[in-house]
Structure 1
Amino acid sequence: MHTSTTSTAALVPWTAEQLQQATQGHWYQGKAPIAAIKRILTDSRHAEKGDAFLALHGERFDAHDFVAQVAAQGCEVAIVSHPVDVDICQLVVADTRLALGHLGAYRRAQNTQLKVIALTGSSGKTTTKEMLGSILSRLAPTLITRGNLNNDLGVPMMLLELRAEHQYAVMELGASHQGEIDYTSNLVQPHVAGIINIGTAHLGEFGGREGICRAKSEIYAHITPSGTSIIPAADDFAERIAQAVQSKQVLSFGENGDVFASAIELQPQASKFSLNTPQGIRTVNLPFAGEHNVQNATAAAAFALALGITLEDIVQGLAQAQGAKGRLNFIQQDKHLFIDDTYNANPTSMRAAAEVLAQQQGIKVLVMGDIGELGTSAAQQHYMLGRDLVAQDINFVVAVGEFAPAAQEGARSTQYGKKMQAFLNQQQALPFLIDLIATHQPQSMSFLFKGSRYTHMETLMADLMETL
């Protein structure tokens, strides 16, 4: 991973005046801290002397209840939406959630040297973000969204980590409701922003792909006047997306786009292709498997080109890129290959993972957990997945979870129905997987584990590996 995201360099301290100015709050009873504040935290467990604790109010919790606790830990400043009966400097604001956004936006505005990329999409945004991180952090200190800090709380938290030496920031923006990306892209004020694709993730919240497209397209609203919009030329919503663009400069990627891949060679654990751009054509050796990752790389190249990065630097950065944990990580154990793709899943990425597995050696087994956030279409989506996955050049599909029976029904609607086994939980699936290895001795096997984050498919993978 990129060392630049976890630098030990000190954060820029805040003065009491800056906190007040950023949040438009007031110091309760006029009692403001004299010393500078080194960092703003929302996690009470880590708040200490020199910090300001920002008390969020959620549906199931109210962090105002923890102000006494942080005061006992030595923390002397709290940002609250109402005064608390604790002897601590309190900055009272209208809404602490919005105050967090104001603080992030303030920090962003202070870093005038910064070039910012913002990206969103239904699948591939984390991998594209890592590829961009690899390209840019070779050139200068770069802030890159960590984990899934991509919502209305995570984005400002990332902005609070900006330091004077950062030259670039790659911000991943997620959408779980209409208006969220409008809010976060306004905070980050990107120079380059765009959508990677419109898939089927979060179908439940948006009531269909049109709703997803509308929500993601909000990313184009806050690009700086001289900035560039990135659009996915091959996406079936490309025309709708192009209508949302407001910047003069536009760069498209994918088939029939300004930046596209040709002469693609897919290898079991890597790929090679020609990167075609307005600046010329170069060969890219990409240490990622799968056609979908070639597309992610062309997206990353388009974002980087829009920032003025040279083609040579892009090619070198892509060649050195590393996947995030749980994103198609290849683990060889004895003669068997385990592919850890457990970080998350949606219908599009599950199909892409099956294509990668089909490229591997030996007996090929896809172990799939449930996919969440599909709303009322969940059973139907799993049915279609089951139907499509067994048609791939793989030997077994083991479905685990509440929707495994729906996936199995889909598989049985084809001539490949016998490839699919369905289990309601991991405890039931494990003995079958152990038996599968035993019955195929001495052949080598390739397993790929994938599911939505809440299914914790990495646990099943680890349990199976321990039995070898």
Structure 2
Amino acid sequence: MHTSTTSTAALEPWSIEQLQQATQGYWLNDRKPAGQIKRILTDSRDAEAGDAFLALKGERFDAHDFIAQVAAQGCEIAIVSRPVDADICQLVVEDTRLALGQLGAYRRQQNPQLKVIALTGSSGKTTTKEMLGSILSRLAPTLVTRGNLNNDLGVPVMLLELRPEHQYAVMELGASHQGEIDYTSKMVQPHVAGIINIGTAHLGEFGGRDGICRAKSEIYAHISETSITPAADDFAEVIRAAVRTEKSLSFGAGGEVYASDVVLEAQSSSFTLNTAQGSKTVQLPFAGEHNVENATAAAAFALAIGIGLDDIVAGLEQAVGAKGRLNFIPYKDYLFIDDTYNANPGSMRAAAEVLAQQQGIRVMVTGDIGELGSSAAIEHYKLGRDLVSVKGINFVVAVGEFAPAAQEGARSTQYGKKMQAFLNQEQALPFLIDLIETHHPQPMSFLFKGSRFTHMETLMAALMEKL
């Protein structure tokens, strides 16, 4: 388990008293380190003199096994849930996983100057977070969740990077089980927080969308100022019922912050952003209607912490997408759209609409969607049916264990011939090469997308190499 805490800027040091106070631990044999602690980390590879190494234990790993190694690297402190035979100062705590949370919460409390936004949702979290980061970091130093450090381990790891100069923090909170967002949002103590949408990601863990809604709604229990809600979501009423703050702000169609005059271009969009502060035109460097929705969500969060409309528009217009999130890559005579970062049924359909806007022969290459539990086959069936029905998409190439289910769905429509199914990338690659040779010299646009574990970027890179 490697969760990197490395950051280029110097972190605020910890005293041994703070470490003990935050975790309620005790020093083994009363042996304490001298001097301050430079940083707390969970990745044994990075541990060095001045660090405290926190040994996490998971189902398939136990970082207590690496303590002798970090001691050899010059690290003088280990935070452990059981004493280890190694020449190192050991702070013994009840549970290192909870201690990490306590340290993150302590660091958060030490930064009262901070204005904190927390957001969750089934899809669009990362893009909305990047948009907010773009709005706020123009104005003052801002801590933004990196990558997918959004769970019960990732959130405290991010909080450990807080420094006194930070004025804003944008924290993305994910949920893979009930209670997780309650735990992380309590730690983060947001001024403004809310749900972007309720989709079908993690359907397996929660036994349905009602369960997902309950899990995400835990965010509303720990907000000090304003709750943000999606006006147009299927679960809008249930979400509104979870709000506990006096102040709330809704976004999307029928909400207080909404888009009108939407124009979708192949690789960008423009719209009028309507708010209580007035209306302004936004030239958004993101394609797709779902990204217009993400932008209105970002605007609502920013308005709620007091950011002016002009600053919001400037930030949205300068925003850059995260790697693997609808990145447009012109390569030779072709356009490749890298949307391989992750996938759920909703984001897969949104990506198809973006591809349909592109030029030439349009080919969607999909990997399996994970975490759908017992509904995986039916969800892939419905997805196959819907993707081939998108006007403007010429071919859908499904890859993975559930590709045959997607193909069955495609065949239930009049567009069944658009879909080809392959069990792995090695089988799919020759077909894609053949497609290019058949249609040469026509322009072609390819979109690659799948859940993280499918590594669809590998197939995309292999195809680009053959051109």
Alignment of 1:77-226 (within 5 A): 77-224=77-224
Instruction: Answer with 53-62 or 14-23: which moved more.
Output: 53-62
Q: How far off is 1:6 after superposition?
A: 8.2
Partners of 2:90 and 2:428 lie apart in 1 by 53
TM-score (norm 1): 0.98
Instruction: Look up the match of 1:467.
Output: 466
Q: How far off is 1:8 after superposition?
A: 2.8
Q: How far off is 1:62 after superposition?
A: 1.3
Instruction: Look up the match of 1:449.
Output: 448
- Does structure 1 residue 420 correspond to structure 2 residue 419? yes
Partner SS, residue 413 of structure 2: coil
Partners of 1:444 and 1:133 lie apart in 2 by 35
Q: How far off is 1:376 after superposition?
A: 0.3
Alignment of 1:237-276 (within 5 A): 237-276=235-274
Partners of 2:10 and 2:326 lie apart in 1 by 34
Instruction: Look up the match of 2:389.
Output: 391
How many pairs were matched up? 462
Partners of 1:310 and 1:338 lie apart in 2 by 36
Partners of 2:359 and 2:186 lie apart in 1 by 47
Partners of 1:339 and 1:9 lie apart in 2 by 33
C-alpha RMSD over aligned residues: 0.9
Counterpart selection for 2:284 from 283, 286, 289: 286
Partners of 1:58 and 1:456 lie apart in 2 by 24
Note the alpha carbon deviations across 1:415-455, whole angstroms, 9 max, x for none: 00000000000000000000000000110000000000000
Note the alpha carbon deviations across 1:8-61, whole angstroms, 9 max, x for none: 321000000000000011111111112100000111111110000001111111
Note the alpha carbon deviations across 1:208-265, whole angstroms, 9 max, x for none: 00000000000011112xx100000000100000111110000000000000000000
- The amino acid across from 1:233 in the alignment is A
- The amino acid across from 1:76 in the alignment is E
Structure 1 unaligned regions, length at least 5: none
Instruction: Look up the match of 1:41.
Output: 41
- The amino acid across from 1:308 in the alignment is G
Instruction: Answer with 145-154 or 63-72: which moved more.
Output: 63-72
Partner SS, residue 384 of structure 1: helix
Partner SS, residue 86 of structure 1: coil
Note the alpha carbon deviations across 1:301-334, whole angstroms, 9 max, x for none: 0000000000000000000000000000001012
Note the alpha carbon deviations across 1:363-418, whole angstroms, 9 max, x for none: 00000000000000000000000000001121000000000000000000000000
- The amino acid across from 1:118 in the alignment is A
Partner SS, residue 10 of structure 1: coil
Instruction: Look up the match of 2:437.
Output: 438
Q: How far off is 1:68 after superposition?
A: 0.8
Instruction: Look up the match of 1:303.
Output: 301
Instruction: Look up the match of 1:320.
Output: 318
Partners of 2:384 and 2:10 lie apart in 1 by 50
- Does structure 1 residue 21 correspond to structure 2 residue 24? no
Partners of 1:189 and 1:334 lie apart in 2 by 49
Instruction: Look up the match of 2:457.
Output: 458
Instruction: Please say if residues 411 and 417 of structure 2, whose CA atoms lie closer than 8 Å, have aligned partners that are also in contact.
Output: yes
Note the alpha carbon deviations across 1:326-351, whole angstroms, 9 max, x for none: 00000101221000000000000000
Partners of 1:59 and 1:457 lie apart in 2 by 27
- The amino acid across from 1:60 in the alignment is R
TM-score (norm 2): 0.98
Partner SS, residue 143 of structure 1: strand
- The amino acid across from 2:435 in the alignment is L
Partners of 1:415 and 1:152 lie apart in 2 by 46
Partner SS, residue 18 of structure 1: helix
Q: How far off is 1:7 after superposition?
A: 6.0
Instruction: Look up the match of 1:356.
Output: 354
Instruction: Look up the match of 2:73.
Output: 73
Instruction: Look up the match of 2:53.
Output: 53
- The amino acid across from 1:147 in the alignment is G
Question: For residues 452 and 152 of structure 1, do their structure 2 counterparts lie closer, same or farther at Cα, with a shift above 3 Å needed?
Answer: same
Structure 2 unaligned regions, length at least 5: none
Partner SS, residue 447 of structure 2: strand
The runs of at least 4 aligned residues of structure 1 exceeding 2 Å deviation read 5-9
